[in-house]
Structure 1
Amino acid sequence: MSKSNVEKYASHPCFGMAARKTVGRLHLPVAPRANARARFSDGAFGRAVSPEEALARLDRVIEDGVSVSVVGITGPGDPLAVPEPTLRTLRMVREKYPDMTLCLTTLGLSGAECAGELAGMGVSHVTVLVDAVEADVAEKLYAWIRPSTRTLPLKEAAGLLVEGQARAVSAFKEAGLTVKINTTVYPGLNAGHVERIAEVMSGLGADVMALTPFCPKEGAGEGLAAAGDELLAEVRDRAARHIDIVSVFDECGAGLVGLESRDATAAQGPILPRPTKERPNVAVVSSTGMDVDLHLGHAVQAMVYGPRGDGPACLLEVRDLPEPGSGSERWESLAEILSDCFVLLAASAGENPRRVLSGRGLSVLVTDGGIEGTVDALYGGGKKGKKNKRQ
């Protein structure tokens, strides 16, 4: 990399090493579906939140005094596998925080169709995950690829992936976006192919490339060795003949990264809803009155907890909920009934009620914890639920 580019990328909020420790980046998990899975991954997949929940999460972090300069969408699925939640989240963040830097990480499928809209809302850069530029190499790396809603034979799907990624990178650049290529180096599978990836992606206009060594995880990648330092150095030198190489940010994709400070450390982990003057209470659906154990769709009553005087939160009342079976109208009515609650605790909840309720200001928190401990934690207490919160 030339000296001028070293200086250019040193100050970049996501590419520069120095900036990574001083710039707060919050990753919002709004992508509900993956469109591929690497053959050597563990298949772990978290829960996506609605765009409204994501914006509320960003608001809470900022209100807590944490400086966030970059909002990225990196998971838990692929941000462009179902583009609508990603695009809506980015629009909402841009409208409320016009100076925020926006970015996303994607496999690139559907990227060509979304490039103009991403550029139009001021997305700064897109990271495209490219592990192969030839179908036969890609076929060795993926357990499955689903370019659309239709399942295809892997050989055919691998060809469509390679073609789709090339179109996406070209479209991103034509739209004026900065493009970073992330490539995982798999010994014996694509290590000798990385230089070709760098050459092709550079030819399509990609700006920089980062190389991640494959490291097998427990229960995944058995029989494939980790990419060692010597191999990575050799691969990096060959790729650098064609494109500028930047260091990998190991934490990219986590909830809140950057900002090596007390405030950033305090904000790590799940960012919980919190009470407000207008919404001071917590709603809970339960069959026992002890644990959060009901699916929201089956609940006909909600227990409402809230502060009483200067004491701890306690049960205030039990409210009847609309009968199941009335579709979205049920959730609109439920939102009215619980209009003084900032969060609703349930053992499970569908995407539609979560979307409707979060849009009305009521977050849905999925948990299997004990009621007393979970409610106490939401009000800042130190007690633990009997089980684990899943958010």
Structure 2
Amino acid sequence: MKESWSTKVREKTEKHPCYCDTAHKYVRMHIPVAPKCNIQCNYCNRKYDCLNESRPGVTSEILTPENALEKYKAVKAKLENLMVVGIAGPGDALANFPETQKSIELIKAIDPQVTFCLSTNGLMLSEYAEEIVKWGVSHLTVTINSIDPIIAAKIYSTVVYKNKIYTGEAAGTLLIEKQLTGLKLVTEMGIVCKVNIVMIKGINDHHIEAVVKKVKDLGAFMTNIMPLIPAAGSKFENLDLVSKVELNNLRKKCAIDLKQMYHCRQCRADAIGVLGEDISIDFRKNCCNASWNRSKNKEEYTIAVASKTGRLIDQHFGHVKELFIYKYDKAGVKFIERRSVDQYCRGAEECQDSETKMERLRKVLQDCNLVLCLRIGSTPRKYLEDQNIYIAEIYEEIEKGIIQSVEVMNCAS
């Protein structure tokens, strides 16, 4: 660590689970108060990035600063080892300057000792550097995917700066200049900086060692090289994924120059808990937004679940190509089968659901009472409800989600 860092900052770093791999017992909380972003990455689809996936930049809700304060109080009351509050989106913390500032002020007013951490793409970092220090922010994450404008032009579609839109190499040149200037400035002011780098096969993977060397020279404390998680509908949705072996081999090479983060979990913008154990679901007021048939109280249900992994209810219904079918009765929850379904939303600006697709969907779900998914559009929701199939929007482990949803339905009956 830099000699200029105070003892207090050193202690905060040792209790920050993202900056210290032995701080696993400490809880961090992300408050999703920053929805706007001023750049467009080719691995991000803003239509989907707020509600339907478990990855960086996604959340199930947007909070006002006042909401964030109330949620912080609730979490702190139950988790005494909560040490860090982060603003990591779902957009950019500094592109939402008023909301970020107000959130910090409100929470620090009741807990001056809390460690505040911001994540940013760095475009506005130099402009707000002094403000960040005044707010008492001690840790900062900057995502820098390239220091070469030609490579950056392949990663970013647009950069919006002072009401002007930049594209191509001009966008890359501007963003890189602002990122590097801002990083140098805040590290000189004593802020502990982590640099995130998204490893994109065939785009910047050969260039990342150079990025690490550069940010080291500018005072970065560590880098976190992360694998690309392509968002559905984004320009990079079909790119080859980086293997764990490829990722760790690159991290080992870069560790010669700078400390590397190996324990990143690529958390959501509303994550709560220790790393690897997101319990944000427990603190959502409306984790289940359901429409039920209140005239019936059945004892047996056939349930279709939208899931990417078969473990969580974590997929937008419009992205589903396969549904997991379960039975629920007095004996409990039982997995039955997988069913292929015609994906009705393919990333267009507005998903259009043809009668043909809806008819196919009806046939696939004709024996189902319930559909559990992370989100669903208004058109398929109405169609399914007209077929007496009821919808629950929920993010949960599948069996827990089924039990919870059935209990809600029965209580409402």
Q: What percentage of residue pairs aligned between the two structures are identical? A: 27
Normalising by structure 2, report the TM-score: 0.60
Instruction: Evaluate the alpha carbon distance shift between residue 150 and residue 55 of structure 1 in structure 2; reply closer, same or farther with a 3 A threshold.
Output: same
> Which of 17, 23, 29 is the equivalent residue of 1:19?
23
> Which of 198, 204, 207 is the equivalent residue of 2:221?
207
SS of the aligned residue for 2:207 comes to: helix
Within the alignment, does 1:272 sit opposite 2:285 as a pair? yes
Deviation at 1:66, TM superposition (A): 5.3
Which position in structure 2 is the counterpart of 1:38?
41
> Which of 136, 139, 148 is the equivalent residue of 1:134?
148
Instruction: Evaluate the alpha carbon distance shift between residue 201 and residue 369 of structure 1 in structure 2; reply closer, same or farther with a 3 A threshold.
Output: same
Deviation at 1:123, TM superposition (A): 1.2
SS of the aligned residue for 1:192 comes to: coil
- Structure 2 residue ranges without an equivalent (≥5): 2-9, 51-60, 287-390, 394-405
Contact 2:89 2:269 in 1 (8 A): no
How many residues of Structure 1 are paired with residues of Structure 2 in the alignment? 274
> Which of 107, 115, 124 is the equivalent residue of 2:138?
124
Give runs of aligned pairs for residues 189-208 of structure 1, distance below 5 A: 189-208=203-222
Structure 1 stretch 115-124 or stretch 216-225: which is displaced more? 216-225
Alignment root-mean-square deviation, CA: 3.1
Which position in structure 2 is the counterpart of 1:155?
169
Within the alignment, does 1:238 sit opposite 2:242 as a pair? no
> Which of 28, 31, 44 is the equivalent residue of 2:31?
28
Structure 1 stretch 159-168 or stretch 47-56: which is displaced more? 47-56
- Structure 1 residue ranges without an equivalent (≥5): 2-6, 274-367, 371-380, 386-391
Residues 156-203 of structure 1, C-alpha deviations (whole Å, 9 max, x = no match): 222110001011101111221000001011111101110110011111
Distance (Å, rounded) in 1 between the aligned partners of 2:282 and 2:269: 9
Contact 2:69 2:103 in 1 (8 A): yes
Q: Which runs of 4+ in 1 moved over 6 A?
A: 7-10
Structure 1 stretch 172-181 or stretch 146-155: which is displaced more? 146-155
Distance (Å, rounded) in 1 between the aligned partners of 2:144 and 2:161: 15
Contact 1:145 1:157 in 2 (8 A): yes
Contact 1:181 1:208 in 2 (8 A): yes
Deviation at 1:267, TM superposition (A): 5.0
Give runs of aligned pairs for residues 81-230 of structure 1, distance below 5 A: 81-220=95-234, 221-230=236-245
Distance (Å, rounded) in 1 between the aligned partners of 2:279 and 2:43: 33
Deviation at 1:19, TM superposition (A): 1.6
Distance (Å, rounded) in 2 between the aligned partners of 1:87 and 1:133: 29
Normalising by structure 1, report the TM-score: 0.63
Distance (Å, rounded) in 2 between the aligned partners of 1:30 and 1:254: 9
